[in-house]
Amino acid sequence: MPARRLRSSPARKSPAPAASGGSNLAVPALKAEVRTLDNGLDVIVREDHEHPLVSVQIWIKAGSLHEEKWTGAGLAHCVEHMLFKGTVKRSASQISQGIQELGGYVNAYTTFNRTVYWIDGLADQTEGYLDILADMVRHSKIDPLELQKEQDVIRREMAMDNDDAGSVVQHLVQSTSFRKHPLKHPIIGHRAVFDQVSRDDVAGFVSRHYVPNNCFVVIAGAVNAEECFAAAQRLLGDWERRPYEPILLPEEAPQRGLREGRKNFDTELTRLALGWQIPGEGHQDKAALDVLAFLLGSGRSSRLYQELREKRSIAHWVWAGAWGAPECGVFNTEAECDPKDVEACQKAMLEVIETLKAKGPTVAELAKAVRATIGGQVRTLATTKGQAASLGSSWLNAGTLDHAQHYLAAVRALTPTAIRDAARRYLTPASCSVAMVGPDVETTSASTHTTTTKNAIQRFVLPNGLTLLIGENPRLPLVSIRASFLAGVPAETAANGGATQVSAALLLKGTKTRTAAEIASELENLGGSLQCTADAHRYLLGSDVMRGDEAKGLNLIADLIQNATLPAAQLKEVQKRQIASILEEKEDPLTVAMRHARKEIFAGTPFARTALGTEESVKALKVETCRAMLSKSLVGANGVISIHGDIKAATVRKQVEKALGKLKKGTRHYDAQAAFPVTAEVKPGQHELHMDKEQAIIVIGFRTVGLHHPDSQALALIDEACSDMGSRLFNRIREELGLAYYVGAQQFSALGAGAFYFYVGTSAEKAALAQQEILVQIEDLVKNGLTADEIQRSKTTWRSGWLRAQQGNGSLADVYGWNELNGLGYENFSQLPAKVEALTDEDLRRVARTYFSQASAHIVTVMPEVQ
């Protein structure tokens, strides 16, 4: 049959938005074109030639809300899994390996009202990506035997969900807030209902919903639009249009009284959520509700953060958001706190809300929210995936490519009175649902040369030894600043472990010229953001701002570096937060296993410890210790400032010299290339731990080498080969044998030290078989290395990931600063592709033989508690 010609709809172009909040910055128009095939399939294409990358996405307008008599079974999510299990012409491994060979990264997700399949990768492989996705959505086999294995995988995923307090409280909010609407069910489904699903049920869902007139394609990247439309016609034009009857969802009756849901959970902390029914995504009040959520719970200057965390010190974390389905949704405020503070948290949350309902936000608060919304929209456009997702959401929710612009116009039009009225209208005591999860709550109430910037990185060294890296990128009106200083685990001892992170948090508590509240709000009022944190190697201070605000972002960072007061009164609260993070890590079985393996592998070296420290070391910290760490670390010779974005190098250099020219020179903390010798006897062996969880975890770790060692890139490539969905571990252990939900590898490469971990998440009854099989796979890797196909796929996928990592000024500023700070030189990042491409099969075999001997393996298993 000859190809039918596409019916062309005129291009929908986004108008430039008006200025907002005193700013002349606008969200760049997201120009794209949409055409409709004769079979009803819409195809949306956006050309963006900034990077040689593309995002290819197929959107199915069916999610967990559309499961009809199987509502609550997780059918939509199950289908998402099954589409990766093989088609009429491709096996599961051919799908994953085919994508990997093309340098792509594939994934999918299911929500209440959609399922999206996407591949991010190289623009010159666009048709290849679309070919595979089209085959998946059109010709999936839904093989009964594969379905049985995948259902077991999903059961393990359900177990993981049940082990995560955040997921549990979210599901509890849904089920408490709704009685009829299917929004009350988790997207993944209920285990009891899911266990009754047959192959015919899954295939029936595909047959009803996976039709061209209920789907659309989005392509964004360095492509030719006409070629994309032609490819869509070739690959999807003969997909037969079929009758499709929209699902009629039950109407939820208005809530007329307070509801409560409580669930006991084995944890040290309690999660508390307050939810209210609100209209759906398309309602005229959605903009006001989103901004209301921002004002209540987004950022350190938000009302809930300031009141609950900073002033009253009764919450470790707060958040607010408005989300849901097209017809209805939930306005949700959440807090994480100590069990003894639950009642105080709930009372304080309601008091903050009532205050806002009484007076509304200030003009300054509203201006901040508007500017932040604009900033968030701009940042979405930094990646091809973000562009495609924005276009897809607009098309799904409103049938227009201009929806995001109209939404921003509604945001700009908001007044403090409109926000106040929305709060009064929806956040009423009679429509509130309380969800609580915690302890005993139920008993109480291929080319190797690529550049991502228009101009090369410029490097300067100030007289005080501070290194400055500047990258000019005028693509979007955004600027990212990152200030890094060596510190972290190598600079600490067992006695003061965690001091870097604690002192980083104390920096935000005030300077000689700014209060903590002023620090929190200064950049947020401009639609920007501030970060001040630490990791295993360094302090990291950063700001992301709009063009024109870079001096303000830089001056704030400079003030924190040079004038922080570190008030002793705040130390206890910071310690409390960090201990909460340590306790939270202890709830995740994989993290527990990884931490234990790390402790054994690095016994006698600094990296046996983690950046968080221990409960004991954090409790013992004094302000004087934190001040000493900062004083020694935040000096010119020990730091790098990396600035990337819509800037001019000469101007920014003068701004940095003015802001940080008087910073004392000091000395470098430690030699970045020095290895840390082992000072304790390291005994490889097996360790078994027990936790009150449903899943079982196996981690097999090996001591390797640090960042500067020439073998580090070979280890990175082996990591890539063993971690992808096309890897031998995934295909053998998860796909063929059905022994695990997830399986993979992880390289840890630090200054003078490194480790490599193989891991698998399984069930208790399959743990022994899973461990045996992963050891067999490691032995084969040591004996035979990687195949030629594995090496080529891994190199292509690695390069695709290397390219994707460069999207966005923040990522660029961070990666260049990281390489420079650690003694690799900022140019190391651009040299990595050549180093990876030069690796041979013999290089990889030698590295596997050198480091992965079973005699040197540290094996850690985490098993459920014996009942």
Q: pLDDT digit string (tens) for 607-631?
A: 999 999 999 999 999 999 999 999 9
Q: Is the pLDDT of residue 663 over 60?
A: yes
CATH number of 685-864: 3.30.830.10
Cα–Cα dist 110/95, whole Å = 19
Q: Is the pLDDT of residue 131 over 90?
A: yes
Q: Is the pLDDT of residue 350 over 50?
A: yes
**In the numeric block, which tokens belong to residue 412?**
């700009």
Cα–Cα dist 100/107, whole Å = 12
Q: Which pLDDT score, from 0 to 100, does residue 5 have?
A: 29
More confident residue, 15 or 383: 383
Q: Tell me how crowded residue 133 is: count the other CB atoms within 10 A of its CB.
A: 25
Q: Which pLDDT score, from 0 to 100, does residue 669 have?
A: 84
The mean-pLDDT minimum among 17-21, 302-306, 571-575, 812-816 falls in 17-21
Q: Which pLDDT score, from 0 to 100, does residue 452 have?
A: 39
Distances (CA, A) of 219 to 111, 281, 530, 798: 20, 24, 33, 22
Band (446; pLDDT cuts 50, 70, 90): very low
Longest dimension (CA), the chain: 80
**Residue 96 · residue 724 · CB < 8 Å:** yes
Q: Which pLDDT score, from 0 to 100, does residue 379 have?
A: 87
Give the three-class secondary structure for 634: coil
Instruction: Considering only CA atoms, give the Rg of the chain.
Output: 27
Cα–Cα dist 448/414, whole Å = 49
Q: Which pLDDT score, from 0 to 100, does residue 356 have?
A: 96
Q: Is the pLDDT of residue 447 over 50?
A: no
Helices marked H in 681-750 — which ranges? 712-723, 728-729
**Residue 205 · residue 147 · CB < 8 Å:** no
Q: Is the pLDDT of residue 855 over 90?
A: yes
* Helix orientation angle between 550-563 and 649-660, rounded to the nearest 10 degrees: 20
Which of 406, 611, 368, 657 is CA-nearest to residue 502?
Answer: 611
Band (376; pLDDT cuts 50, 70, 90): confident
Mean pLDDT of 658-682: 77
Q: What is the pLDDT of residues 494-548, one digit of tens each?
A: 999 999 999 999 999 999 999 999 999 999 988 899 999 999 999 999 999 999 9
Model-level pTM? 0.87
Mean pLDDT of 311-332: 93
Q: Is the pLDDT of residue 36 over 80?
A: yes
Question: Which phi-psi region, left, alpha or beta, contains residue 590 (left: φ > 0; alpha: ψ -120 to 50)?
Answer: alpha
Cα–Cα dist 805/792, whole Å = 20
Q: Which pLDDT score, from 0 to 100, does residue 672 have?
A: 53
Which of 494, 473, 488, 571 is CA-nearest to residue 533?
Answer: 488
CATH number of 259-438: 3.30.830.10
Residues in the chain: 867
**Residue 14 · residue 401 · CB < 8 Å:** yes
Distances (CA, A) of 63 to 79, 115, 796: 10, 6, 33
Band (826; pLDDT cuts 50, 70, 90): very high
More confident residue, 144 or 299: 144
Q: Which pLDDT score, from 0 to 100, does residue 367 have?
A: 93
**Residue 304 · residue 277 · CB < 8 Å:** no
**What percent of the chain is predicted at pLDDT more than 90?**
81
**In the numeric block, which tokens belong to residue 228?**
């994309």
Band (677; pLDDT cuts 50, 70, 90): low
Which of 28, 31, 26, 27 is CA-nearest to residue 13?
Answer: 31
Classify residue 808 by its DSSP letter: S
Q: Which pLDDT score, from 0 to 100, does residue 3 have?
A: 32
Q: What is the pLDDT of residues 79-127, one digit of tens each?
A: 999 999 999 999 999 999 999 999 999 999 999 999 999 999 999 999 9
Q: What is the pLDDT of residues 516-529, one digit of tens each?
A: 999 999 999 888 99
Q: Which pLDDT score, from 0 to 100, does residue 13 have?
A: 35
Q: Is the pLDDT of residue 214 over 70?
A: yes
Band (675; pLDDT cuts 50, 70, 90): low
Mean pLDDT of the chain: 91
Cα–Cα dist 366/355, whole Å = 15
Q: Is the pLDDT of residue 25 over 60?
A: no
**In the numeric block, which tokens belong to residue 857?**
């393996």
**What percent of the chain is predicted at pLDDT more than 70?**
94
- Please give the CATH topology (third level) of the domain spanning 458-660: Cytochrome Bc1 Complex; Chain A, domain 1 (3.30.830)
- Return the CATH superfamily for domain 31-164+179-236: Metalloenzyme, LuxS/M16 peptidase-like (3.30.830.10)
**In the numeric block, which tokens belong to residue 192?**
């009891």
Give the three-class secondary structure for 167: helix
Band (30; pLDDT cuts 50, 70, 90): confident
**Residue 845 · residue 672 · CB < 8 Å:** no
Band (402; pLDDT cuts 50, 70, 90): confident
* Sequence ranges of the chain with CATH classification 3.30.830.10: 31-164+179-236, 259-438, 458-660, 685-864
